[in-house]
Amino acid sequence: MFSKEEYINRRSRLKSNFDTGILLFLGNEESPINFFDNTYHFRQDSSFLYYFGINAPKLAAIIDIDENKTIVFGDEMSIDEIVWMGRQQTLQDKANQSGVDSVKFSSSLSDYLQSAQDKKRRIHFLPPYRAENKIKIASVLKSEKPSLPFIKAVVAQRSIKSAAELVELDLASSISADMHLIAMQMAKPGMKESEIAATIQQIALKDEGNLAYPVILTVNGQILHNHFHGNTLKDGHLVLNDSGAETKMGYAGDLTRTFPAGKKFSAIQKEMYSIVLESYQKAVEALKPGVKYLDVHYTACLALAEGLKALGLMKGNMHDAVETGAHALFFQCGTGHMMGLDVHDMEDLGEQYVGYTEELKKNTTQFGLKSLRLGKELETGYVLTVEPGLYFIPELIEQWKSTAQFSDFINYDKVEDFKNFGGIRVEDDYVITETSYRKLGKELAISINDIEEIRAKAY
Ligand code: GLY
Ligand code: MN
């Protein structure tokens, strides 16, 4: 946990947004895999972690604005639980460490809420994303809707990372860099993707942390969120590794590197990689407070499109191509997203509030652009990813070609030669500083030379 003062300050800043009512936080439950007592790794709700720091299941908490009280609802371990799980720090101790006023039995929460409702007091809650919390909300608060003022206040606060959080985020990115370096060092033709994915996971776990999201380690990098690990590496393949650590405190790292399964990139792989790297560098250089991430995305897309034009895959005016979304045949997603306690930070609270504003609403159905999670103006203290890529998806190419989509901008004859090229992405994590940006975590090879140097020693 952070210091008691950090949690007290966070809650007091949150409280200052409200004159009356109750702020309700639902922690997460254990989640069964295949029977009740065999559970997935426990992950606390991120807003609960942010405001209370207590990393345990079966908890809820309220901030009662009118009575100026903060209460955690939960139960001390039963003797049966102590027998099976061992004595752990008491809930009362954890609540003390978090600076909470009092602890009440979990069974008393519904009465507390019911009585507040009877007095017509507003109960603010965040959008539940787990089934059991949806049921809890529905059973007590019936058809009440999540509270927009609560969502907005939490988003505003969690978006700006404190110095203590940046220490964690630097650590998360550094552990993630270790995961990537070992993958780059160990991969060799004949090895299965799953062997490398397993080693990546081991690094994530070894300091009591975890993975921030399931490992993407694939020779089919064109599949954006590919969780299949059953292929065998062959010389000539590109290996795309998108993996990140979650620190013991719950903060995420999110890095991607693409490297040859053999010792060297082929000539055309080098050309394609250089386009992605150029796009990445231009996007990074555009980062600073006051700049819209939408424009950073545009910069990244334009660089990709210009590179593809130089290779003969695109044609015409690349500004027009990017405006209309023609480049999305090769880059179907956004250039980055916020990162923090969640790898896609606060995605549960709603992309419209996290990545956009009232003035800059996301109201596009344009393929590619509709997947950009972050568009709004950057502020000092935001932590985000930059992750452009090029993805050759045979089914998508077929579909667009069959209807001659954007044929003013796409040379389908040339694209045909690349249908099975695969995919390339590079990704790093950044914090927006007072004047520009700072890369989080330790350095990790990204240039062709540095990657080939590591690969030369791999086998
Ligand atoms: N690391 C996966 C993603 O950003 O979606
Ligand atoms: Mn990412």
DSSP summary character for residue 371: G
Does residue 304 register a pLDDT over 90? yes
How many A from CA of 385 to the centre of ligand 2?
6
Whether 254 lines ligand 1, by a CB cut-off of 6 Å, is: yes
Whether 224 lines ligand 1, by a CB cut-off of 6 Å, is: no
DSSP, collapsed to helix, strand or coil, labels residue 110 as helix
C-beta atoms surrounding 14 within 10 Å: 21
Q: Quick one: which atom of ligand 1 is closest to the CA of 256?
A: 1
Take residue 286 and report the two structure tokens written for it: 């555009």
How many A from CA of 384 to the centre of ligand 2?
8
Integer Cα distance of 245 and 26 in angstroms = 25
C-beta atoms surrounding 158 within 10 Å: 23
Ligand 1, residues 225, 227, 372, 425: which to mutate, most atoms within 8 A of Cβ? 225
- Residue with token string 């600073």: 288
Does residue 142 register a pLDDT over 90? no
* Mean pLDDT of the region 351-358: 96
Whether 242 lines ligand 1, by a CB cut-off of 6 Å, is: yes
- Residue 72 parent element (H or E): strand 69-73
Q: Quick one: which atom of ligand 1 is closest to the CA of 387?
A: 4
DSSP β-ladder status, 210-211 and 245-246? antiparallel
Percent of the chain with pLDDT over 70: 100
- Residues belonging to the chain: 459
Ligand 1, residues 218, 344, 347: which to mutate, most atoms within 8 A of Cβ? 344
CB 287 within 8 A of CB 436: yes
Q: When comparing pLDDT for 142 and 408, which is higher?
A: 408
pLDDT given for residue 356 in this prediction: 97
Confidence of residue 143 (pLDDT cuts 50, 70, 90): confident
* Mean pLDDT of the region 372-388: 98
* Mean pLDDT of the region 32-52: 97
Give the torsion sign (CA, 319, 322, 324, 330): positive
How many A from CA of 255 to the centre of ligand 2?
7
Ligand 1, residues 372, 386, 387, 428: which to mutate, most atoms within 8 A of Cβ? 387
pLDDT given for residue 376 in this prediction: 97
Q: When comparing pLDDT for 207 and 73, which is higher?
A: 73
Does residue 260 register a pLDDT over 90? yes
Q: Which residues contact 213 (CB under 8 A, 6 or more apart)?
A: 243, 244, 252, 254, 343
Give 172-204 pLDDT, tens digit per residue: 999 999 999 999 999 999 999 999 999 999 999
Give 385-407 pLDDT, tens digit per residue: 999 999 999 999 999 999 999 99
How many A from CA of 215 to the centre of ligand 1?
10
- β-strand partners of 26: 60
Confidence of residue 363 (pLDDT cuts 50, 70, 90): confident
How many A from CA of 387 to the centre of ligand 2?
6
Helix intervals (H) in 4-123: 4-15, 46-52, 79-85, 91-97, 109-118
449 half-sphere exposure, CB direction, 13 A CA radius: 0
Mean pLDDT across the chain: 97
- Residue 26 parent element (H or E): strand 22-26
Q: Quick one: which atom of ligand 1 is closest to the CA of 254?
A: 1
Q: Quick one: which atom of ligand 1 is closest to the CA of 212?
A: 1
Confidence of residue 101 (pLDDT cuts 50, 70, 90): confident
Q: Quick one: which atom of ligand 1 is closest to the CA of 242?
A: 1
pLDDT given for residue 54 in this prediction: 98
Whether 345 lines ligand 1, by a CB cut-off of 6 Å, is: no
Give 228-255 pLDDT, tens digit per residue: 999 999 999 999 999 999 999 999 999 9
How many A from CA of 254 to the centre of ligand 2?
5
